[in-house]
Amino acid sequence: MATKVVERKPLSLAERTYLPQIVSGLRVTMKNMFKPPVTLEYPDERPDIPPGYRGVPTLVKDPNGREKCVSCQLCEFVCPPKAIRITPAEIPEDAETAHVEKAPEEFEINMLRCIYCGLCQEVCPEEAIFLQDIFSVTGTSREELVFKKDKLYALGGTLPDSHYKWEKKKSAERAGNPHH
């Protein structure tokens, strides 16, 4: 195997003093000094949240303030990191929502485990869980970041409901046909 020797040309005075590289770097710095800043002064300035942003999962109520969750546990089963835990409870027969069968006794989302994938929202047949545009979740302990049912409803609030499932089921029951 033959070795080939490559001759290098000698460096000029400017190249030996690194002046062209220093001037090039200063030119980039000067160009950026006069541009408007791109840094947000958080928390005084907030970023614009794009539509479809997947933030904190929350529970929502219907326009009449009733729980939409019926403890079907699909969100718990589909959650990849197992961040959701639901304890279902029976609804008393004399309750206004007795036709629903179950409601969550406990509903927890461990925000330390949640990966904000949105599968819980997609799988929910009752549209009871939504990913809101909340992007900053903080706490001073692990327990604070396990959101219980009351906190999830406080964050979620009430969202418009296009199908009003409670009214339809109630009116069907009054008409004597409980299957509509």
Predicted local confidence at residue 108, as pLDDT: 97
Q: What is the pLDDT of residue 144?
A: 95
- pLDDT value at position 42? 86
pLDDT at 169: 57
Give the closest residue to 103 by CA, choosing from 95, 111, 114.
95
Joined together, the tokens standing for residue 177 give 């046909």
* In the chain, domain spans: 57-172
| Dihedral (CA of 149, 117, 161, 132) sign | positive
Residue numbers of the chain with a pLDDT score lower than 70: 97-98, 161-180
Fold of 57-172: Alpha-Beta Plaits (3.30.70)
Q: Give residue 103's pLDDT.
A: 86
Structure tokens at 98: 């007795």
Cβ atoms 103, 67 nearer than 8 A: yes
Tokens of 122: 């997609």
pLDDT digits (tens, 9 = 90+) for 116-129: 999 999 999 988 99
* Cα 27 to Cα 147: distance, rounded to the nearest angstrom: 51
Report in angstroms the alpha-carbon separations of 21 from 9, 17, 34, 35, 115. Answer: 19, 9, 21, 22, 44
C-alpha 45/C-alpha 13 separation (Å) is 49
- pLDDT for 115 equals 95
pLDDT score recorded for residue 178: 54
pTM: 0.68
